[in-house]
């Protein structure tokens, strides 16, 4: 008798399992979003400071006689941007 009752209860709860898994998944995604947003706020705050910038990206345009030049070329700019993106990724993946 008790065994039959347990089977019925298990069958009823079986229908709830996919919803429970989805809930856990959404909670994990929410947690990762919060971490990434927090990282972005830290980066923005660091960029707004005038000293000791870790995440600053600057480009200076130099006008010459025959051409316009950028001091911090595209490669340097891309490398710095990739460094920032990697820091965000490492932070997000470090969440357990």
Contact 60, 72 (CB under 8 A): yes
Contact 43, 55 (CB under 8 A): yes
Asked whether the whole model's pTM tops 0.85, one would answer no
Q: d(Cα 27, Cα 29) in Å, to the nearest integer?
A: 5
- Encode the chain (96 residues) as per-residue pLDDT tens digits: 688 888 888 887 787 888 888 999 999 999 888 888 888 888 777 767 766 566 666 667 777 777 777 666 677 777 877 887 887 777 777 765
pLDDT at site 26: 93
Beta-bridge partner residues of 80: none
């Amino acid at each position: 008798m008790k065994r039959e009752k347990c089977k019925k209860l298990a069958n009823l709860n079986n229908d709830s399992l996919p919803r429970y898994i989805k809930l856990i998944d959404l909670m994990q995604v929410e947690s990762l979003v919060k971490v990434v947003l927090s990282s972005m706020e830290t980066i923005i705050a660091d960029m707004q400071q005038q000293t000791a910038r870790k995440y600053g990206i600057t480009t200076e345009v130099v006008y010459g006689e025959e051409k316009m030049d950028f001091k911090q070329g595209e490669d340097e700019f891309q490398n710095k941007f990739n460094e920032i993106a990697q820091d965000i990724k490492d932070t997000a993946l470090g969440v357990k």
